[in-house]
Amino acid sequence: MLGSLVGVVAVLPATTGCSSHRPQGTIVGQYRLVGGPAPGVNQPEPATIWAYAGHVDLDQIAHAKVAAHTNTDGSGHFTLSLDPGAYTLFGSQGLSSSVATDGCGVPVSVQVKASTRTTIDLACSVP
């Protein structure tokens, strides 16, 4: 008598190895103190870097959406990974919990593209 054969078929999903989200872009940069009385300063400074979704002016910060924030290293260097899109970056001296109260410098608008590295500098003007 011949035995029956039972076949087992493994089914793999068609999405194996695919990610469910878009690749992010990376922003790298440095926060510096610049200006002041002669001879002036131009030195890296520890700070907190804030990324807001869209184009945001300093007077709009209280109602803007924080997309991400990070602390710089001791030399003012930072790295942020963000979804593709438009962002406005602000810096605040030291380790800060608010740009609205501790912000310094001019905001920088940046367009983040997937799988792309963008370099920017943020500066705090010293009177």
Tens digit of each residue's pLDDT (9 = 90 or more) over 4-50: 333 333 333 333 444 447 799 999 999 999 998 999 999 999 999 99
93-108 per-position pLDDT tens digit:
766 565 655 567 778 9
Contacts of 33 (CB under 8 A, 6+ apart): 41, 42, 43, 44, 45, 93, 123, 124, 126
pTM reported for the whole predicted model: 0.75
Say if residues 27 and 109 touch (Cβ distance below 8 Å). Answer: no
- Return the CATH fold of 25-126: Immunoglobulin-like (2.60.40)
Q: What share of the chain is helix, strand, coil (3-state, %, to 5)?
A: 10, 50, 45
pLDDT averaged over every residue in the chain: 80
The domain spans of the chain are 25-126
Q: Residue length, the chain?
A: 127
**What pLDDT shows up at residue 95?**
61
Is the pLDDT at 68 greater than 90? The verdict is: yes
Tell me which H or E stretch contains 117.
Answer: strand 117-126
